[in-house]
Structure 1
Amino acid sequence: MSVGNTANGMDTRGSIPRSVALDRLRERRPFEADGPTVRMELAEVAGRTTAEPVTAPIDVPQHDRATMDGFAFAASDEYPLRVTDAVFPEDEPPTIDRGDAVAVATGAALPARADVVLMREEATVEDGSLSGPPQTPGTNVYPAGATATAGERLFTADHRLAPRHAALLRDVGIDSVLVYRPLTVGILPTGTEIHHGRQPDRDSEMLCNLVRRWGHRPGIEDAVPDAIDRVRTAIETAAAEYDVVLTTGGTSVGGADHVITVLEEHDVLFRGVDVRPGRPVTVGTVAETPVCALPGKPVAAHTAATLLVRPFLTGCDRLPTVTADCRVRVTVPDADVEFAIPVVLEGRGAMPLGHASSELELYDERFAPGRVASSTRVLCADGIVLTREAIEAGDPVTVVPYEVLE
């Protein structure tokens, strides 16, 4: 195909906004309603995408339960009350009559008539008679069905599960979930200097960990030297073996940057995104396999992967943020580019890591994406600030934590 065009005629010669890139990627997501599925036990569901809605099979809890150690009774009854029994979490709730109370442990099921738990430290018990301050119905009680009711939808289809969701699923009596089969993701580093061992491969293991965190199965291929035939063979072979391929290096405009040349022989979705570091990222398809070509510099590769590949592989492009005040002034070198500035959170403030005032000096006041892209040290930051404009000292900024990005 001709350089700069895709099968649907879109121009790909210039870099595009991140939002446009995400829209184009969303159309190529490798999840389909009739795609292969697998049933997975709860110990392995993190990062997986549900292939069907998940509903609660029972009410949880099935009885009102105590949230404190104390005494359960009906709030309408008057003191003193007769303490007739003791109930623990493993016990079935007893029956109580008017004027009765039972001692309960945290998590214990309450008798049907009881609607309040008096905290033990507020209770006075003498000769089996209980007294204490007046109580409002529902105090220190976790109601039946508060977690879920039978038939209630907990997750829609295409929902990405997190580690915390295993607790809810177990609680409602579900021990396995039908999910889409994890994708196989090939990671292919390029560069003669890496192939010959003159420089370390700083990207592949990082990407491998990201892919695994996103719920898929990565595989690292041997590094390929900067020879067009070797690069072409490696990409086409990987595209035949994996569901998705991530390459690193060879995405710029130098004479040895052959990854782009190979993708342009196939179908290019876009070439370049208006984010720095990370702008040279290119996405295409080879034999219907998505190939995401990431820049070789590690921070640029990480930025492009977390802002673009993560939504592509997980279906989630939300970026929850925290707000902090920027400690220093930062200017930006270009007007129409989105800059990803790594920052360290310090109380309610954010210090750009790499700024001359930080513990790592890479630039003075003007953000230097090239230097930042080369420094694996900046990956010790707490997150990034995405901005197209200069930031004044004291300005509030929205920080995307790395925990969100990854």
Structure 2
Amino acid sequence: MSHDHESMLCRADAVEEVTDLLERELSTRGTVEMSIEDGAAGRTLAEPVTAPRDVPAHDHATMDGFAVDARDPYPLTVRDEEIFPEDQPPAIAAGETVRIATGAPLPERANAVLKVEEATVEGGELTGSTLEPGTYAYERGSNVSAGETLFRPGERLSAKDLILLRDLGIERVAVYERFSVGLLATGSEIHEGVTPDLDSPMLAALVRSWGHSATIAGTVPDEYDRTEQRIAELADEHDVVITTGGTSVGEKDYVVRALESLGELRFHRVRIRPGKPIAAARLPDHDAVAFAVPGKPVGAHTVATLVMRPFFVGDADPLPTRVATVTSDVGIGTPGFEYAVPVTLDGERATPLGHVDSPLQVYDETFDPSVLSSSTRATRADGFVITESDLSAGESVRVIPYHVIE
């Protein structure tokens, strides 16, 4: 296996490999029907969702007022009744109007609503402001047209998506079965209890927040045969195996070698720091996918959320950012990498956490991803800035808040 810098993938290419792994898995994955009231949010759609009807199904009022045909001249004769949302609207003749409540269906001839504040009624006749057709009227099909495809297979439903599904009258959707994930921490120091396993609880929580099930399956020492055997066992029990530690190129870094032996290594090492030595593999004999995440906790979190996350959420679109001004100069070391620089936010000020001017002082001017990746206090950052070049104090940066990726 080559370990030179030229063999590393950029993050975009690594994510493309990850989404390809996902597409392969979904192509043979089982599906279940879920009620939108009972757990559909957070699940991945297995079938397209097409609008069964127009929404709204009829024109209706968006203001309290009077239903009118905007082409009729004032005064208009006011009918002695009022339309509410639950009513069938009466027919109105030319020159007539009727009181209408917000959300109520418009009579067939009406095409606008004169709101109460602009209306004058005297002697049973209405006068008011000049209207254009469509004023305060929500037209039939203006939201959704019957037959329109609104959701694609592979999309992950959010809580807000349930609003549209319910409005369409759709109560159940077909979704893919959740992935079952087994988490294995490697390293003799962890296996023997000298060092706590900091990564598995964090990664399990991420997997669950992404809508899947996770089991912390224990530890394995730095022994090749036991590492390979345990990965194989977990691959037989779970859809996905995530290991931590043992992903570099040291004498006791056995995980990537084990993955090569067990299946097809899709990539090893990505041009991002911290978190560079991540790997992904298909294990076809076990019908599983494996991700090998570096052991340093902040690096593990960074690369899991930036590279591994699309496999679980099916979304590789650019992440939402918040604009801020960086407070200190931060240099980068080796060019040709993306650097994820953790920052704390105070209004529009972004302070690099770990910089000598921050509460966590682990580097001076040049960002040190190796040391920072091991610092548990770095988790107190509010987000991170991805950069390929030096940052200058006063520079406008885009911060990816942690809450958008967890």
Q: Does 2:285 correspond to 1:290?
A: no
Q: Secondary structure at the match of 1:121?
A: helix
For residues 186-265 of structure 1, what are the structure 2 equivalents within 5 Å?
186-265=182-261
Correspondence for 2:152: 156
Offset of residue 155 of structure 1:
1.6
Which deviates further from its counterpart, 295-304 or 325-334? Answer: 325-334
Q: Secondary structure at the match of 2:292?
A: strand
Change in CA separation of 1:104 and 1:381 when aligned onto 2, cut-off 3 Å: farther
Q: Does 2:53 correspond to 1:58?
A: yes
Letter in 2 for 1:301: A
Contact 1:244 1:290 in 2 (8 A): yes
Offset of residue 190 of structure 1:
2.4
TM-score of the aligned structures, taking structure 1 as reference length: 0.88
Contact 2:46 2:176 in 1 (8 A): yes
Rounded Cα–Cα distance in structure 2 between residues aligned with 1:69 and 1:197: 69
Change in CA separation of 1:76 and 1:396 when aligned onto 2, cut-off 3 Å: same
Change in CA separation of 1:137 and 1:343 when aligned onto 2, cut-off 3 Å: farther
Offset of residue 307 of structure 1:
1.4
Contact 2:15 2:308 in 1 (8 A): no
Structure 2, unmatched stretches of 5+, are none
Q: Secondary structure at the match of 1:250?
A: coil
Which of 71, 75, 85 is the equivalent residue of 2:81?
85
Correspondence for 1:317: 316
Task: Percent identity, please.
Answer: 47
Residues 334-358 of structure 1 deviation map (CA, whole Å, 9 limit, x = unaligned): 1121101123444444333333444
Rounded Cα–Cα distance in structure 2 between residues aligned with 1:366 and 1:220: 36
Which deviates further from its counterpart, 26-35 or 159-168? Answer: 26-35
Q: Secondary structure at the match of 1:51?
A: coil
Which of 26, 33, 37 is the equivalent residue of 2:31?
37
Correspondence for 2:374: 374
Q: Secondary structure at the match of 1:60?
A: coil
Which deviates further from its counterpart, 104-113 or 23-32? Answer: 23-32
Q: Does 2:354 correspond to 1:354?
A: yes
Change in CA separation of 1:190 and 1:71 when aligned onto 2, cut-off 3 Å: farther
Which deviates further from its counterpart, 165-174 or 259-268? Answer: 259-268
The runs of at least 4 aligned residues of structure 1 exceeding 6 Å deviation read none
Change in CA separation of 1:291 and 1:101 when aligned onto 2, cut-off 3 Å: same
Change in CA separation of 1:104 and 1:357 when aligned onto 2, cut-off 3 Å: farther
Which of 104, 122, 142 is the equivalent residue of 2:100?
104
Which deviates further from its counterpart, 195-204 or 178-187? Answer: 195-204
Rounded Cα–Cα distance in structure 2 between residues aligned with 1:380 and 1:126: 67
Which deviates further from its counterpart, 213-222 or 160-169? Answer: 213-222
Q: Secondary structure at the match of 1:28?
A: helix
Offset of residue 187 of structure 1:
1.6
